[in-house]
Amino acid sequence: MSNTRITADELPTDLAGTDLLIDVRAPKGRAENGEIASAVILPKQLVANVFSGAFASVPKDARIVVFCGSINGSGPVVETLTGLGYTNVVDVDGGFAALKERGVA
C-alpha cells in the first residue's frame, strides 16, 4: 500500500486491521482533548529513534496509523516512517478530532 492520508470514516471504529496507532500530539493537546486507550503516545521528534531502537521489530509492512491535532504533526511522522522503510503508513485527515467524532476515541 502506498503512503497516504485517510479519513476517519475509512478507519474501523474498532481499529481492525491497524497494527499500530500512534498519537503524536503534545501533552497539552492530550490533556485538553483526551486520548485513545490503544494508541501509543510518541513525541514526533522521537519517532526515528524509537523505530530504530525499541520498535525496530515492527514489520516494515505493518499497518501504522498516525494522528495529531494537525497535519503539521502527523504528516512529517508519516514521511519519517516512510524514510525508514515502512510501507503501510497513513495519517488521519482531521486528526484526533475526526477520530473522536467517528467514535474511535
| β-bridge mates for residue 20, sequence order | 64
Domain assignment of residue 18, yes or no: no
Q: What pLDDT is stored for residue 1 in this prediction?
A: 44
Which region among 60-64, 67-71, 85-89, 100-104 has the lowest average model confidence (pLDDT)? 67-71
> Which residues span the domain enclosing 45?
4-11+23-102
Domain assignment of residue 16, yes or no: no
Which CATH number belongs to the domain containing residue 43 in this structure? 3.40.250.10
- CA quadruple 74, 15, 21, 103: dihedral sign: positive
| Statement: residue 30 has pLDDT above 70 | yes
Number of structural domains, the chain? 1
Closest by alpha carbon to 68, among 29, 100, 18?
29
Q: What pLDDT is stored for residue 84 in this prediction?
A: 96
Proportion of the chain above pLDDT 70, given as a percent: 95
Q: What is the pLDDT of residues 82-92, one digit of tens each?
A: 999 999 999 99
Q: What is the pLDDT of residues 44-57, one digit of tens each?
A: 999 999 999 999 99
Q: What pLDDT is stored for residue 3 in this prediction?
A: 56
Interval 18-39 mean pLDDT: 94
